[in-house]
A and B are shown apart, each in its own frame.
Chain A
């Protein structure tokens, strides 16, 4: 995770507070519907609980194994096909909010990384390894696998398109 990332996240708690306020208001207007919504939430929460627990352990594994320094070291100096593959891997392994990665990408670009690789990195972030159990829980294993494969493929396609837009007429790596 990037070092410049915020350590605390009050936004989430504020969001929860706003939702609870909405429940409070709805509860005053229509108690029955609000109770129904709460029961529905409890059912969904219980069914998703095992996946949420697994998310915790995968987040821990990701934090232990993948460091921003690794991404910076490899993405910054590699070229050719390897650079594209590393951009994909780096994006998949990158955790945290997207805006936290912009400064690192800026730094890498200042050091010579090409813009299409930044696009590949940002797109492949759509594959969220620690959240896969939850995706499988909601959409099934086959869907998750198919979607992830397309996302990885399209991350490269996005990079190629970005390259064409940046340097029209020049062949890509």
Chain B
């Protein structure tokens, strides 16, 4: 029944959204606090040596994170506004979703250790490649 489907979907969406709200608010508050407490000059030293190194650092941070992708957009957006390169931010948001160090044991258990290891390694290097290619393409497009 379509009406029943709609009500059920609406309830499910509200539940999902309500579960997202604390993550969104918490990440927003945390990012603001970190950026206010540790100004740009403090973490700018980690980035900016080269695009590849920026991508490597961004991908490493993203691989260790296990939060909702929404949080990576918020964090990435604020880092970008505070001078961190787009390559680093892109590598972070891509690896945030595609690489899962935290979920690795579960993935290995259910899908096989070899599969989980290979997939995560390939995804890590893909995040770096995607970040570099995206930024180069954007520069090319103008």
Interface residues of A (CB under 8 A from B): 1, 7-9, 12-13, 15-16, 18-20, 22-23, 26, 33-34, 36-38, 40-41, 44-45, 48, 52, 55-56, 59-60, 63-64, 95, 98-99, 102-103, 105-106, 109, 115, 118-119, 122-123, 125-126, 128, 131, 134-135, 137-139, 142-143, 146-147, 150-151, 154, 157-158, 161-162, 165
Contacts and interface: CB of A to CB of B under 8 A. Distances in A.
Contacts of B134: 143, 146-147, 150
A88 B28 CA distance: 31
Q: Size range of the interface on B? A: 35 or more
B58 interface: no
B94 A126 contact: yes
A154 B119 contact: no
B interface: dominant SS: helix
B6 A64 contact: yes
Nearest to B94: A126
Interface string B99-129: 0100100110011100100110011001001
B28 A123 contact: no
B22 A16 contact: yes
Nearest to A95: B16
Contacts of B33: 19, 22-23, 26, 34, 37
A63 B120 CA distance: 28
Interface in B45-75: 67-70, 73-74
Contact of B32 (A37, A103, A147): A37
B23 A63 contact: no
Given A59-B13, A158-B126, A12 B23 contact: yes
